[in-house]
Structure 1
Amino acid sequence: MHHDRFGLALSADTEATAAAVSDFAFEVLSHGQRAAAILPLAEAEPGAPLPQALAAALYLFLQTAEGVQRARPWLVRAQAAARHANERERLLLAALEAWADGRPALALQRHLELARQWPRDLLNAKLAQVHQLNLGERAGMLALSSATLRAAPEVGQAWGLHAFALEQNGALADALLIGERAVALDRHDPWAQHAVAHVHEARGDAAAGIAWLEALAPTWERCSSFMLTHQWWHLALFHLARGDAAAALALWDARVWGVRKTYVQDQVNAVSLLARIEALGLDGGARWHDLAAHVRPRIHDRLNAFLDLHFAYALARAGDEAALTELLSGLAQHAARADTPAWRELAWPAARGVVAYAQQRWQEARRELQPLMARLHLLGGSTAQQRWFGQMLNAPRPRAEAA
């Protein structure tokens, strides 16, 4: 019997398959660029259920309707081979199927059941934390990361997952201690680095945040586009905290936008950072037209309200009225029929507020957003990302043309 890097039994027939599964877990946990290496293995071994499931997960991470459609054939192949899977692998497959079906709460429930039985499965813990973040399940995130760390204290990435969960729950001193320990165990763990950056941002310590991230920046080149741009996004936020919009804009141009313009998480980084830069008085200008062109294909997806709010903002700032109207109409229809009240009670009024802010209707934006602030995290996004919406309660500085 083969085992993965965490000692968990695999249904893999060969050492090469086991190694590929372990490599995939490492790439996801470390936000690396090589997770797609699972695809040729899954193609070559259609009877191996876990590689098929992981190939599906790769496409689900795209968080687009297109990604879901590309995941489905892999899920079908995984289900066909499921008789060869062990119980842990079948539970993971069930969680991925729920994700593809647009039922993230059910997916999370299945990930948590898997975690209860196999707490050393760090890939599962990472997937669960993604759903917890998207669902605003901050207390659950802390409970899961605590159990994962107890089960795998020798793994640096377990410390990184826990550091982030601590910060999301406001335990800043503990998050700093755990995050720094995680980086001491593995200097190249971007999630742990990022958790410490969150602590400095939450404390308003821009100098410490800049020093921390600049010292670690050489380690980011192996990261996927999201984590690469997101680390620079955090560094830009620290410059904004010091009132230096020009430095933040320089990072936007050189580091935050342009790595993978079609990826929704890169788009989210770019939209919110450019909006924050404008709030300090610099006009983003034609940059909004480029952003709008890349978010426009996503206006019908309805997979994640947090993403939709960013798309709406970019379209409004670019003056793309046709696409904006289409997005808002689709969002209103989805909110009216959605099973979960968050779309109706939070996403739809938040979208109206975000668009009002983008169109300089400050009082209307405040009127829409103020009643939502205590629960807006239920739409997803980290504490640092959510602070952008809080900033919309105040009118920005008058804009000056940027270079």
Structure 2
Amino acid sequence: MATDRYGHDLYNGTSEAAGYLDRAVEDLLFFRPEVAGAVDDLLEAAPASPVAHAFAAYLGVLGTESADAAAAQLRFEGSASGLDLTRLPPRERLHTAAAESLLAGDLRRGSALLEELTTAYPRDALALFVGHQLDFLTGDALRLRDRIGGALSAWEEDDPHRGPLLGMYAFGLEECGHYTHARETGSAAVERNRHDVWAIHAVVHTYEMQGRFAEGITFLDARVGDWSDGNFLTVHNWWHYALYALEAGHTDTALGIYDTVLYNGESRGLAMELLDAASLLWRLHLAGSDQTRRWETLADAWSARADPPFYAFNDVHAVMSYVGAGRTEEARRLIADRRRWLAEPGSKTLTNHAMTANVGLPVCEALVAQAGGDHDTVMELLWPLRRRLHEFGGSHAQRDALQKTLIEAALSSGRHDMARLLISERTALRPRSPYNWLTSARLADSMGDATRAGLARDRASRLGRDGSPGSERI
């Protein structure tokens, strides 16, 4: 029987198919767009391979594109018709069951099945990667860290794919707050392979979460040719660069990145990219920057998608765009549609049901309230959720736009105690962040403490001068 590069038998596969599988897994680990073609080659070479069909199903789900998931489900159902799971080897059985769960919308069950698989087969890189991405999509930081940490001991130091595992582990460490260990681990992965964009992304997150934007800019500038084009993370890592630019007070640089990379006439309109664009514009919106033209085109892009209920995290960013464009009725229609869906009998079996009901809809309603200046309602909706936002997925950095919305509501509604608490939490974690000191100054102003406000603004100014984005890179 043919085996893959990790020593696993490829059930119903040939040595040629095993080669395609190896190529597809490597493309996946390094976020190369070529992975789709490699999986097609694998399916053609091994049309009866359960792992091949599971791989195709995984690709259909992980992009959070409902149309891709629907197409993947049709193809998977055709391949799995008449398949007797009890006759499959354990690894293939678990891959098939995990794929079925994901296509049915049960991300958490699929995640658990893949964890069961990698407990027995810790060198199954496909299962580790997909499980890691599911942990990210469901906001499960501990699993994001420990799924990979639990497998690392099965990988030799000189294995060329240990590097991508280290990059994944670094991201899990970062999301759990182990910033120094995460940065060291991610940097070690980048040293192994300078094109490991997920490892680069993990290191970038450590700088973001500590407010060390100048070091983040330096890190990205030093290897811009390694991450800035030709991979699935291109837009997202440019988004991180734009966040650094905003912290440094270089709004023009951030907008240059937006227009050149995040969203323009040539953008593909993918949800993962549109939400980065919305998230950046929302931060500018909270700072009082009028971006009406950009909001309008972005809202048009979300509207053209006409997404069904699929992933609440995407819904929130669609509403963000409608609100930013002043199209609150469109935002309300999306909210009403999701409420109708929640009342349907079958929806409760889906992971997205809980995400939408418990977090997605309250956040959407808070965004609409914020647009209307109803800061009390924003507080009522977001305050109870501020430590639960992870339940609908994303990273700390992505969800920070909502944390900032809560701070703005606390300041605008005159709830000084809550504003002080929120700002104090942030400043303790990120003492080098100009944003934190500027909000501290605003709070002091509202309380009539001109001396404290002046000191905070001076601190923010000095920190801002420490970072100067290399705008020539854009």
TM-score normalised by structure 2 residue count: 0.78
**Contact map agreement 1:200 1:208 (CA 8 A) in 2:** yes
Residue 213 of structure 2 is matched in structure 1 by: 206
Within 5 A, what are the aligned runs for 1:341-352? 341-352=354-365
**Contact map agreement 2:139 2:392 (CA 8 A) in 1:** yes
The Cα shift of 1:352 comes to 0.4
Match of 1:10, as an amino acid?
A: L
Residue 242 of structure 2 is matched in structure 1 by: 236
Match of 2:242, as an amino acid?
A: A
Q: Does 2:32 match 1:32?
A: yes
Residue 379 of structure 2 is matched in structure 1 by: 366
Aligned mates of 1:269, 1:344 — CA distance in 2? 23
**Contact map agreement 2:13 2:48 (CA 8 A) in 1:** no
Within 5 A, what are the aligned runs for 1:311-326? 311-326=318-333
| 2:151 match: secondary structure | helix
Q: Does 2:151 match 1:142?
A: no
Aligned mates of 2:301, 2:156 — CA distance in 1? 42
Q: Does 2:258 match 1:252?
A: yes
Residue 10 of structure 1 is matched in structure 2 by: 10
The Cα shift of 1:222 comes to 5.5
Match of 1:55, as an amino acid?
A: A
Residue 299 of structure 2 is matched in structure 1 by: 292
Gaps of 5+ in 1: 399-403
| 1:283 match: secondary structure | coil
Aligned mates of 2:47, 2:197 — CA distance in 1? 33
Aligned mates of 2:274, 2:322 — CA distance in 1? 12
Residue 277 of structure 2 is matched in structure 1 by: 270
Residue 90 of structure 1 is matched in structure 2 by: 93
Q: Cα distance 1:222–1:13, how it changes in 2: closer, same or farther (>3 A)?
A: farther
**How big is each residue's C-alpha offset from its partner over 1:138-191, in whole Å with a ceiling of 9 and x where there is no partner?**
112222111122222431011011100000000111111111111111111011
Aligned mates of 1:356, 1:79 — CA distance in 2? 47
The Cα shift of 1:203 comes to 1.0
Match of 1:3, as an amino acid?
A: T
**Contact map agreement 1:111 1:125 (CA 8 A) in 2:** yes
Match of 2:31, as an amino acid?
A: H
**Contact map agreement 2:235 2:273 (CA 8 A) in 1:** yes
**How big is each residue's C-alpha offset from its partner over 1:297-338, in whole Å with a ceiling of 9 and x where there is no partner?**
445422211111111111222233453232111222334565
| 2:407 match: secondary structure | coil
**How big is each residue's C-alpha offset from its partner over 1:188-245, in whole Å with a ceiling of 9 and x where there is no partner?**
10111111111111111111000111112201256434x0000100111111111221
**Contact map agreement 1:53 1:78 (CA 8 A) in 2:** no
Query: Bigger radius of gyration, 1 or 2?
Result: 2
**Contact map agreement 1:32 1:222 (CA 8 A) in 2:** no
Q: Does 2:71 match 1:70?
A: yes
| 2:191 match: secondary structure | helix
**How big is each residue's C-alpha offset from its partner over 1:67-99, in whole Å with a ceiling of 9 and x where there is no partner?**
222001321244248569542122112111111
Aligned mates of 2:125, 2:147 — CA distance in 1? 11
Q: Cα distance 1:341–1:15, how it changes in 2: closer, same or farther (>3 A)?
A: closer
Q: Cα distance 1:99–1:208, how it changes in 2: closer, same or farther (>3 A)?
A: same
**Contact map agreement 2:170 2:202 (CA 8 A) in 1:** yes
Larger CA deviation: 11-20 vs 200-209? 11-20
Aligned mates of 1:221, 1:245 — CA distance in 2? 20
Instruction: Select which of 162, 178, 200 maps to 1:171.
Output: 178
| 1:255 match: secondary structure | helix
Aligned mates of 1:6, 1:50 — CA distance in 2? 14
Root mean square deviation, CA, Å? 2.4
Aligned mates of 1:306, 1:184 — CA distance in 2? 33
Instruction: Select which of 122, 125, 142 maps to 1:122.
Output: 125
Larger CA deviation: 259-268 vs 39-48? 39-48
The Cα shift of 1:362 comes to 3.6
**Contact map agreement 1:138 1:168 (CA 8 A) in 2:** yes
The Cα shift of 1:285 comes to 2.0
**Contact map agreement 1:245 1:282 (CA 8 A) in 2:** no
Aligned mates of 1:173, 1:221 — CA distance in 2? 24
| 2:319 match: secondary structure | helix
Match of 2:74, as an amino acid?
A: P
Gaps of 5+ in 2: 413-474
**Contact map agreement 1:229 1:266 (CA 8 A) in 2:** yes
**Contact map agreement 1:163 1:192 (CA 8 A) in 2:** yes
Instruction: Count residues in correspondence.
Output: 397
Larger CA deviation: 349-358 vs 197-206? 349-358
Aligned mates of 1:245, 1:68 — CA distance in 2? 37
The Cα shift of 1:63 comes to 1.6
| Larger relative contact order (CA 8 Å, sep ≥ 6) | 2
Match of 1:242, as an amino acid?
A: A
| 1:9 match: secondary structure | coil
Larger CA deviation: 154-163 vs 287-296? 287-296
Residue 102 of structure 1 is matched in structure 2 by: 105
Match of 2:268, as an amino acid?
A: K
**How big is each residue's C-alpha offset from its partner over 1:13-54, in whole Å with a ceiling of 9 and x where there is no partner?**
323211111121112211111111122442464333322222
Larger CA deviation: 42-51 vs 384-393? 42-51
Match of 1:161, as an amino acid?
A: M
Aligned mates of 2:180, 2:74 — CA distance in 1? 45
| 1:10 match: secondary structure | coil
Residue 56 of structure 1 is matched in structure 2 by: 57
**Contact map agreement 2:62 2:134 (CA 8 A) in 1:** no
**Contact map agreement 1:248 1:277 (CA 8 A) in 2:** no
Match of 2:237, as an amino acid?
A: Q
Match of 2:117, as an amino acid?
A: L
